[in-house]
Amino acid sequence: MKIVIVGGGAAGATAAQFARKQCRDAEIIVFEKDTYPEYSRCGMPHAISGEIPSFADLVEFSEGWFEMNRIDLRLSTEVLAIDASIKKIESGGPSGASSESYDALIFATGALPSMPRVEGIQSGGKLREGAFIFRSMDDAKALMGWCEASERKVLVVGAGLIGLEVADALNHKGHKVVVVEYLDAILPAMIDPDISEPVASAAREVGIELITSSYVDAVTGDGAITGAKISSRKDSDSRILQCDTLVMATGQKPSTELAGMSGCMLGNQGHIKVDDRCETTLKGIFAVGDCSEYRDMMTGESSPVGLGTLAVKMGEVAGKNAAGGNDRLQKGFLNSRVTRLFGLEIAATGPLASSLSKCGMKVVQSRIKGSTLPLYFPGGDELLVKLTSSEDGSLLSCQIVGKKEAALRIDIVSSLMAAGKGAKDLAQLENAYAPSVAPCVDVLAAAAQGILIKIERKGKG
Protein backbone atom coordinates (compact mmCIF):
# COMPACT_ATOMS: atom_id res chain seq x y z
CA MET A 1 0.00 0.00 0.00
CA LYS A 2 1.23 3.47 -0.90
CA ILE A 3 -0.09 6.57 0.88
CA VAL A 4 0.67 10.10 -0.30
CA ILE A 5 0.10 13.04 2.06
CA VAL A 6 0.09 16.56 0.63
CA GLY A 7 1.16 18.84 3.48
CA GLY A 8 3.32 18.09 6.49
CA GLY A 9 1.82 20.35 9.16
CA ALA A 10 0.05 19.17 12.31
CA ALA A 11 -2.74 17.41 10.40
CA GLY A 12 -0.47 15.86 7.77
CA ALA A 13 2.21 14.70 10.21
CA THR A 14 -0.44 13.19 12.50
CA ALA A 15 -1.99 11.42 9.52
CA ALA A 16 1.42 9.96 8.65
CA GLN A 17 1.93 8.88 12.26
CA PHE A 18 -1.37 6.99 12.47
CA ALA A 19 -1.10 5.55 8.97
CA ARG A 20 2.17 3.98 10.10
CA LYS A 21 0.55 2.64 13.28
CA GLN A 22 -2.31 1.20 11.24
CA CYS A 23 -0.09 -0.45 8.61
CA ARG A 24 3.52 -1.23 9.47
CA ASP A 25 4.37 -2.07 5.86
CA ALA A 26 2.77 0.86 4.03
CA GLU A 27 4.90 3.17 1.91
CA ILE A 28 4.17 6.68 3.16
CA ILE A 29 5.33 9.87 1.43
CA VAL A 30 4.75 13.37 2.84
CA PHE A 31 5.18 16.35 0.51
CA GLU A 32 5.76 19.68 2.29
CA LYS A 33 6.36 23.02 0.53
CA ASP A 34 7.98 24.52 3.62
CA THR A 35 11.63 24.02 4.55
CA TYR A 36 10.75 22.87 8.07
CA PRO A 37 9.30 19.61 9.37
CA GLU A 38 6.08 19.84 11.39
CA TYR A 39 6.09 22.65 13.95
CA SER A 40 3.57 24.42 16.16
CA ARG A 41 2.18 27.50 14.43
CA CYS A 42 0.19 28.24 17.59
CA GLY A 43 3.45 28.59 19.51
CA MET A 44 4.97 31.25 17.24
CA PRO A 45 3.68 34.32 19.15
CA HIS A 46 5.15 32.82 22.33
CA ALA A 47 8.54 32.47 20.64
CA ILE A 48 8.36 36.17 19.77
CA SER A 49 7.48 37.09 23.36
CA GLY A 50 10.33 34.96 24.69
CA GLU A 51 8.12 32.53 26.62
CA ILE A 52 9.43 29.82 24.28
CA PRO A 53 13.25 30.14 24.13
CA SER A 54 13.71 29.60 20.39
CA PHE A 55 11.83 28.80 17.19
CA ALA A 56 13.66 25.45 17.05
CA ASP A 57 11.68 24.42 20.14
CA LEU A 58 8.47 24.61 18.10
CA VAL A 59 9.41 21.60 15.96
CA GLU A 60 7.30 18.63 17.11
CA PHE A 61 7.99 16.01 14.42
CA SER A 62 11.67 16.28 13.50
CA GLU A 63 13.22 14.94 10.31
CA GLY A 64 14.74 12.24 12.51
CA TRP A 65 11.28 11.22 13.69
CA PHE A 66 10.07 10.75 10.11
CA GLU A 67 13.17 8.73 9.28
CA MET A 68 12.79 6.54 12.38
CA ASN A 69 9.19 5.77 11.40
CA ARG A 70 10.14 5.00 7.79
CA ILE A 71 8.14 7.93 6.43
CA ASP A 72 9.56 9.64 3.34
CA LEU A 73 9.44 13.36 4.15
CA ARG A 74 10.12 15.60 1.15
CA LEU A 75 10.66 19.16 2.30
CA SER A 76 10.68 22.17 -0.05
CA THR A 77 8.69 20.03 -2.47
CA GLU A 78 5.37 21.07 -3.94
CA VAL A 79 2.69 18.85 -5.45
CA LEU A 80 1.83 20.54 -8.74
CA ALA A 81 -0.86 18.31 -10.24
CA ILE A 82 -3.03 15.34 -9.33
CA ASP A 83 -4.81 12.97 -11.69
CA ALA A 84 -7.33 11.17 -9.51
CA SER A 85 -8.52 8.99 -12.39
CA ILE A 86 -5.17 7.17 -12.52
CA LYS A 87 -4.08 7.93 -8.93
CA LYS A 88 -0.95 9.84 -9.80
CA ILE A 89 0.66 13.08 -8.60
CA GLU A 90 3.28 15.36 -10.12
CA SER A 91 5.68 17.28 -7.88
CA GLY A 92 8.64 19.62 -8.07
CA GLY A 93 11.40 20.22 -5.55
CA PRO A 94 15.18 20.32 -4.98
CA SER A 95 15.59 17.07 -6.91
CA GLY A 96 13.59 18.32 -9.85
CA ALA A 97 10.24 17.15 -11.21
CA SER A 98 8.94 13.71 -10.29
CA SER A 99 5.73 11.69 -10.29
CA GLU A 100 4.28 9.19 -7.85
CA SER A 101 1.39 6.80 -7.94
CA TYR A 102 -0.73 6.24 -4.83
CA ASP A 103 -3.36 3.97 -3.36
CA ALA A 104 -4.67 6.58 -0.91
CA LEU A 105 -4.20 10.35 -0.84
CA ILE A 106 -4.60 12.79 2.05
CA PHE A 107 -4.93 16.54 1.55
CA ALA A 108 -3.41 18.43 4.48
CA THR A 109 -2.71 21.59 2.52
CA GLY A 110 -3.75 24.03 5.25
CA ALA A 111 -4.59 27.64 4.52
CA LEU A 112 -3.13 30.82 3.08
CA PRO A 113 -3.27 34.37 4.49
CA SER A 114 -6.28 36.38 3.37
CA MET A 115 -5.08 39.85 2.36
CA PRO A 116 -7.40 42.84 1.91
CA ARG A 117 -6.42 45.55 -0.55
CA VAL A 118 -4.22 48.16 1.10
CA GLU A 119 -2.74 50.86 -1.11
CA GLY A 120 1.04 51.06 -0.93
CA ILE A 121 1.60 47.91 1.09
CA GLN A 122 3.51 46.27 -1.75
CA SER A 123 6.57 47.31 -3.70
CA GLY A 124 7.75 45.37 -6.73
CA GLY A 125 5.14 42.69 -6.13
CA LYS A 126 6.35 42.04 -2.56
CA LEU A 127 5.39 43.38 0.85
CA ARG A 128 7.26 46.56 1.67
CA GLU A 129 9.99 46.56 4.26
CA GLY A 130 8.28 46.75 7.63
CA ALA A 131 5.09 45.00 6.43
CA PHE A 132 4.48 41.40 7.47
CA ILE A 133 2.00 38.56 7.31
CA PHE A 134 1.95 35.97 10.08
CA ARG A 135 1.41 32.44 8.88
CA SER A 136 4.72 30.55 8.65
CA MET A 137 7.82 30.13 10.79
CA ASP A 138 9.75 32.34 8.37
CA ASP A 139 7.06 35.04 8.74
CA ALA A 140 7.45 34.94 12.53
CA LYS A 141 11.25 34.97 12.35
CA ALA A 142 11.24 37.95 9.98
CA LEU A 143 8.89 39.93 12.24
CA MET A 144 10.94 39.11 15.32
CA GLY A 145 14.21 40.08 13.63
CA TRP A 146 12.74 43.37 12.44
CA CYS A 147 11.39 44.26 15.88
CA GLU A 148 14.59 43.28 17.68
CA ALA A 149 16.54 45.81 15.61
CA SER A 150 14.71 48.78 17.11
CA GLU A 151 11.78 49.79 19.28
CA ARG A 152 8.84 49.77 16.89
CA LYS A 153 5.49 51.47 16.44
CA VAL A 154 3.40 48.50 15.35
CA LEU A 155 0.01 48.48 13.67
CA VAL A 156 -1.68 45.08 13.75
CA VAL A 157 -4.51 44.78 11.24
CA GLY A 158 -7.10 42.32 12.54
CA ALA A 159 -8.19 41.67 16.14
CA GLY A 160 -8.78 37.97 15.75
CA LEU A 161 -6.92 35.33 17.70
CA ILE A 162 -3.63 35.59 15.78
CA GLY A 163 -3.68 39.38 15.62
CA LEU A 164 -4.17 39.77 19.35
CA GLU A 165 -1.64 37.09 20.25
CA VAL A 166 0.97 38.88 18.11
CA ALA A 167 -0.06 42.22 19.63
CA ASP A 168 0.29 40.80 23.14
CA ALA A 169 3.72 39.33 22.34
CA LEU A 170 5.09 42.55 20.83
CA ASN A 171 3.66 44.65 23.65
CA HIS A 172 5.37 42.29 26.09
CA LYS A 173 8.68 43.05 24.34
CA GLY A 174 8.19 46.79 24.82
CA HIS A 175 6.90 47.89 21.42
CA LYS A 176 4.04 50.37 21.03
CA VAL A 177 1.09 48.47 19.55
CA VAL A 178 -2.18 49.59 17.95
CA VAL A 179 -4.76 47.07 16.69
CA VAL A 180 -7.34 47.91 14.02
CA GLU A 181 -10.41 45.68 13.60
CA TYR A 182 -13.00 45.96 10.82
CA LEU A 183 -15.86 44.62 12.96
CA ASP A 184 -17.35 46.21 16.07
CA ALA A 185 -15.66 43.97 18.64
CA ILE A 186 -12.41 42.07 19.08
CA LEU A 187 -12.09 38.26 18.77
CA PRO A 188 -15.19 38.23 16.53
CA ALA A 189 -14.81 34.57 15.51
CA MET A 190 -14.12 33.34 19.04
CA ILE A 191 -16.52 35.02 21.47
CA ASP A 192 -19.63 37.19 21.44
CA PRO A 193 -19.22 41.00 21.60
CA ASP A 194 -20.48 41.29 25.20
CA ILE A 195 -17.93 38.75 26.42
CA SER A 196 -15.13 40.52 24.54
CA GLU A 197 -15.54 43.70 26.60
CA PRO A 198 -13.35 42.64 29.57
CA VAL A 199 -10.69 41.41 27.11
CA ALA A 200 -10.65 44.78 25.39
CA SER A 201 -10.35 46.51 28.77
CA ALA A 202 -7.41 44.27 29.70
CA ALA A 203 -5.68 45.08 26.38
CA ARG A 204 -6.00 48.79 27.03
CA GLU A 205 -4.74 48.36 30.60
CA VAL A 206 -1.46 46.89 29.34
CA GLY A 207 -1.04 49.78 26.89
CA ILE A 208 -2.47 48.43 23.61
CA GLU A 209 -4.72 50.79 21.66
CA LEU A 210 -7.76 49.18 20.03
CA ILE A 211 -9.60 50.76 17.09
CA THR A 212 -12.73 48.86 16.05
CA SER A 213 -15.23 49.37 13.21
CA SER A 214 -12.32 50.57 11.06
CA TYR A 215 -9.98 49.45 8.31
CA VAL A 216 -6.62 50.36 6.80
CA ASP A 217 -6.91 52.15 3.45
CA ALA A 218 -3.29 52.80 2.64
CA VAL A 219 0.29 52.72 3.87
CA THR A 220 2.17 56.03 3.82
CA GLY A 221 5.87 56.80 3.35
CA ASP A 222 8.05 56.91 0.23
CA GLY A 223 10.68 54.42 1.36
CA ALA A 224 10.22 53.22 4.89
CA ILE A 225 6.68 52.95 6.27
CA THR A 226 5.80 56.09 8.21
CA GLY A 227 2.13 55.53 8.85
CA ALA A 228 -1.20 54.15 7.73
CA LYS A 229 -4.49 55.72 6.74
CA ILE A 230 -7.28 54.34 8.90
CA SER A 231 -10.93 54.87 7.92
CA SER A 232 -14.06 54.37 9.99
CA ARG A 233 -16.46 51.80 8.60
CA LYS A 234 -19.42 53.70 10.03
CA ASP A 235 -18.89 57.32 9.01
CA SER A 236 -15.93 57.20 6.54
CA ASP A 237 -13.85 59.55 8.68
CA SER A 238 -10.15 58.86 8.31
CA ARG A 239 -6.86 59.71 9.96
CA ILE A 240 -3.17 58.93 9.59
CA LEU A 241 -1.71 56.78 12.34
CA GLN A 242 2.07 56.89 12.73
CA CYS A 243 3.72 53.45 12.56
CA ASP A 244 6.85 51.86 11.12
CA THR A 245 5.62 48.26 11.26
CA LEU A 246 2.47 46.69 9.83
CA VAL A 247 1.31 43.15 10.65
CA MET A 248 -1.52 41.79 8.53
CA ALA A 249 -3.61 39.35 10.57
CA THR A 250 -6.80 39.49 8.54
CA GLY A 251 -7.73 35.83 8.49
CA GLN A 252 -7.05 32.96 6.14
CA LYS A 253 -8.46 31.14 3.15
CA PRO A 254 -8.21 27.39 2.50
CA SER A 255 -5.49 26.11 0.19
CA THR A 256 -7.69 23.85 -1.92
CA GLU A 257 -6.88 24.59 -5.55
CA LEU A 258 -5.35 21.13 -6.04
CA ALA A 259 -8.31 19.41 -4.40
CA GLY A 260 -10.78 21.34 -6.54
CA MET A 261 -8.90 20.51 -9.73
CA SER A 262 -8.86 16.85 -8.65
CA GLY A 263 -12.65 16.79 -8.49
CA CYS A 264 -13.21 16.95 -4.74
CA MET A 265 -16.38 18.80 -3.78
CA LEU A 266 -15.73 22.15 -2.10
CA GLY A 267 -17.99 24.09 0.24
CA ASN A 268 -19.24 27.66 -0.09
CA GLN A 269 -16.03 29.09 1.35
CA GLY A 270 -13.77 26.82 -0.70
CA HIS A 271 -13.03 24.15 1.95
CA ILE A 272 -12.96 20.45 1.09
CA LYS A 273 -16.09 18.61 2.17
CA VAL A 274 -15.45 15.43 4.17
CA ASP A 275 -17.55 12.78 5.90
CA ASP A 276 -16.98 11.26 9.34
CA ARG A 277 -14.16 9.12 7.92
CA CYS A 278 -12.45 12.33 6.71
CA GLU A 279 -13.03 11.05 3.18
CA THR A 280 -13.81 13.51 0.42
CA THR A 281 -16.40 12.98 -2.30
CA LEU A 282 -13.72 10.97 -4.15
CA LYS A 283 -13.18 7.50 -2.76
CA GLY A 284 -9.68 6.94 -1.38
CA ILE A 285 -8.95 10.67 -1.08
CA PHE A 286 -9.11 12.24 2.39
CA ALA A 287 -8.77 15.79 3.72
CA VAL A 288 -7.80 17.10 7.14
CA GLY A 289 -7.21 20.36 8.98
CA ASP A 290 -7.58 23.95 7.79
CA CYS A 291 -8.30 22.99 4.18
CA SER A 292 -11.40 20.98 5.15
CA GLU A 293 -14.88 21.44 6.55
CA TYR A 294 -17.03 19.20 8.75
CA ARG A 295 -20.38 19.60 10.43
CA ASP A 296 -20.96 21.65 13.56
CA MET A 297 -22.36 19.46 16.34
CA MET A 298 -24.88 22.03 17.54
CA THR A 299 -26.22 23.53 14.30
CA GLY A 300 -25.65 20.62 11.93
CA GLU A 301 -24.20 23.09 9.41
CA SER A 302 -20.98 22.33 7.56
CA SER A 303 -18.23 24.44 9.12
CA PRO A 304 -14.57 25.19 8.26
CA VAL A 305 -12.00 23.47 10.43
CA GLY A 306 -9.62 25.99 11.96
CA LEU A 307 -8.28 24.58 15.22
CA GLY A 308 -5.15 22.55 15.86
CA THR A 309 -6.95 20.10 18.12
CA LEU A 310 -9.44 19.28 15.37
CA ALA A 311 -6.69 19.03 12.75
CA VAL A 312 -4.91 16.44 14.89
CA LYS A 313 -8.12 14.45 15.49
CA MET A 314 -8.83 14.45 11.76
CA GLY A 315 -5.24 13.44 11.01
CA GLU A 316 -5.59 10.44 13.27
CA VAL A 317 -8.84 9.31 11.63
CA ALA A 318 -7.70 9.93 8.03
CA GLY A 319 -4.32 8.30 8.61
CA LYS A 320 -5.89 5.13 9.94
CA ASN A 321 -8.49 4.97 7.18
CA ALA A 322 -6.03 5.68 4.38
CA ALA A 323 -4.06 2.68 5.63
CA GLY A 324 -7.06 0.36 5.60
CA GLY A 325 -8.77 1.16 8.89
CA ASN A 326 -12.34 2.25 9.56
CA ASP A 327 -12.14 4.97 12.20
CA ARG A 328 -14.69 7.78 12.46
CA LEU A 329 -14.97 11.29 13.83
CA GLN A 330 -17.60 12.17 16.42
CA LYS A 331 -20.95 13.36 15.09
CA GLY A 332 -19.73 16.94 14.82
CA PHE A 333 -17.25 19.45 16.19
CA LEU A 334 -17.87 21.84 19.09
CA ASN A 335 -14.86 23.99 18.19
CA SER A 336 -13.73 24.22 21.81
CA ARG A 337 -11.14 26.98 21.93
CA VAL A 338 -8.97 28.86 24.40
CA THR A 339 -6.22 31.44 24.55
CA ARG A 340 -4.44 33.62 27.10
CA LEU A 341 -4.26 37.33 26.34
CA PHE A 342 -3.33 40.32 28.47
CA GLY A 343 -3.37 38.23 31.65
CA LEU A 344 -6.77 36.65 30.92
CA GLU A 345 -7.87 33.17 29.86
CA ILE A 346 -10.56 33.31 27.19
CA ALA A 347 -12.33 30.01 26.52
CA ALA A 348 -15.38 29.01 24.51
CA THR A 349 -17.18 25.98 23.14
CA GLY A 350 -20.06 25.76 20.69
CA PRO A 351 -21.31 28.32 18.14
CA LEU A 352 -21.39 32.08 18.52
CA ALA A 353 -24.76 33.71 19.27
CA SER A 354 -24.79 35.10 15.71
CA SER A 355 -24.39 31.61 14.23
CA LEU A 356 -27.22 30.22 16.34
CA SER A 357 -29.42 33.12 15.27
CA LYS A 358 -28.65 32.56 11.58
CA CYS A 359 -29.77 28.97 11.95
CA GLY A 360 -33.08 30.17 13.40
CA MET A 361 -32.44 28.59 16.78
CA LYS A 362 -34.34 30.10 19.73
CA VAL A 363 -32.09 30.26 22.75
CA VAL A 364 -32.03 30.98 26.47
CA GLN A 365 -28.95 32.68 27.89
CA SER A 366 -27.46 33.20 31.30
CA ARG A 367 -24.62 35.65 31.99
CA ILE A 368 -23.12 35.52 35.46
CA LYS A 369 -20.00 36.44 37.40
CA GLY A 370 -18.46 34.06 39.91
CA SER A 371 -15.12 33.28 41.50
CA THR A 372 -12.55 30.50 41.48
CA LEU A 373 -12.82 30.42 45.30
CA PRO A 374 -15.58 31.09 47.85
CA LEU A 375 -16.16 34.83 48.16
CA TYR A 376 -15.02 34.80 51.79
CA PHE A 377 -11.68 33.18 50.95
CA PRO A 378 -8.82 35.51 49.91
CA GLY A 379 -7.17 35.12 46.51
CA GLY A 380 -10.10 34.12 44.32
CA ASP A 381 -10.25 35.37 40.72
CA GLU A 382 -13.39 36.54 38.97
CA LEU A 383 -14.89 34.45 36.19
CA LEU A 384 -17.41 35.77 33.67
CA VAL A 385 -19.58 33.00 32.22
CA LYS A 386 -22.09 33.16 29.38
CA LEU A 387 -24.11 29.98 28.97
CA THR A 388 -26.56 29.34 26.13
CA SER A 389 -29.17 26.61 25.80
CA SER A 390 -32.14 25.80 23.62
CA GLU A 391 -35.64 26.42 24.97
CA ASP A 392 -35.77 22.84 26.23
CA GLY A 393 -32.53 23.28 28.19
CA SER A 394 -30.13 21.51 25.84
CA LEU A 395 -26.68 23.08 26.11
CA LEU A 396 -25.58 24.91 22.95
CA SER A 397 -22.55 27.01 23.87
CA CYS A 398 -20.49 28.49 26.68
CA GLN A 399 -17.96 31.33 26.88
CA ILE A 400 -15.76 32.12 29.89
CA VAL A 401 -13.28 34.89 30.67
CA GLY A 402 -11.10 35.08 33.77
CA LYS A 403 -7.52 35.23 34.98
CA LYS A 404 -7.36 31.45 35.35
CA GLU A 405 -9.36 28.20 35.23
CA ALA A 406 -11.53 29.20 32.26
CA ALA A 407 -10.14 26.41 30.08
CA LEU A 408 -10.74 23.72 32.71
CA ARG A 409 -14.37 24.75 33.02
CA ILE A 410 -14.96 25.00 29.28
CA ASP A 411 -13.80 21.38 28.96
CA ILE A 412 -16.46 20.35 31.49
CA VAL A 413 -19.18 22.05 29.46
CA SER A 414 -17.95 20.67 26.13
CA SER A 415 -17.91 17.14 27.57
CA LEU A 416 -21.52 17.50 28.67
CA MET A 417 -22.50 18.98 25.31
CA ALA A 418 -20.86 16.11 23.42
CA ALA A 419 -22.76 13.67 25.62
CA GLY A 420 -26.07 15.39 24.85
CA LYS A 421 -26.55 16.66 28.40
CA GLY A 422 -28.44 19.81 29.32
CA ALA A 423 -28.57 22.73 31.72
CA LYS A 424 -30.19 20.57 34.41
CA ASP A 425 -27.23 18.18 34.32
CA LEU A 426 -24.81 21.10 34.63
CA ALA A 427 -26.83 22.65 37.47
CA GLN A 428 -26.52 19.35 39.34
CA LEU A 429 -22.79 19.13 38.71
CA GLU A 430 -21.07 17.40 41.61
CA ASN A 431 -17.89 19.40 41.93
CA ALA A 432 -15.11 18.96 44.47
CA TYR A 433 -15.10 21.64 47.17
CA ALA A 434 -12.68 23.02 49.71
CA PRO A 435 -12.49 26.74 50.63
CA SER A 436 -8.84 27.03 49.62
CA VAL A 437 -9.36 25.22 46.29
CA ALA A 438 -12.86 25.67 44.88
CA PRO A 439 -16.31 27.09 45.77
CA CYS A 440 -19.13 24.90 47.05
CA VAL A 441 -21.36 25.91 44.11
CA ASP A 442 -19.32 26.38 40.95
CA VAL A 443 -20.04 29.33 38.69
CA LEU A 444 -21.00 26.87 35.92
CA ALA A 445 -23.74 25.38 38.09
CA ALA A 446 -24.94 28.88 38.97
CA ALA A 447 -25.10 29.82 35.28
CA ALA A 448 -27.06 26.64 34.53
CA GLN A 449 -29.46 27.41 37.37
CA GLY A 450 -30.01 30.80 35.75
CA ILE A 451 -30.98 29.05 32.51
CA LEU A 452 -33.44 26.77 34.31
CA ILE A 453 -35.09 29.70 36.10
CA LYS A 454 -35.61 31.54 32.80
CA ILE A 455 -37.09 28.43 31.16
CA GLU A 456 -39.43 27.87 34.11
CA ARG A 457 -40.58 31.48 34.06
CA LYS A 458 -41.23 31.32 30.35
CA GLY A 459 -43.23 28.12 30.82
CA LYS A 460 -45.44 29.82 33.35
CA GLY A 461 -45.60 32.96 31.22
Residues forming the active site: 42
CA 195 – CA 402 distance, rounded (Å): 11
In angstroms, the CA 31 to CA 43 distance is 23
Angle, helices 193-205/161-172, rounded to nearest 10 degrees: 10
Closest by CA to 304, choosing from 253, 353, 258, 264, is: 253
Residue 73's closest CA among 138, 107, 27, 111?
27
Phi and psi for 308 in degrees, rounded to 5?
-60, -40
**Sequence-distant (≥ 6) Cβ neighbours of residue 47 within 8 angstroms:** 53, 54, 55, 57, 58, 140, 144
For 221-362, where are the E strands, in sequence order? 227-232, 238-242, 245-248, 252-254, 272-273, 285-287, 292-295, 302-304, 337-341, 344-349
Reference 23, options 325, 267, 457, 398; nearest CA is: 325
- For 133, the 3-state DSSP assignment is strand
Contacts of 213 (CB under 8 A, 6+ apart): 181, 182, 183, 184, 232, 233, 234
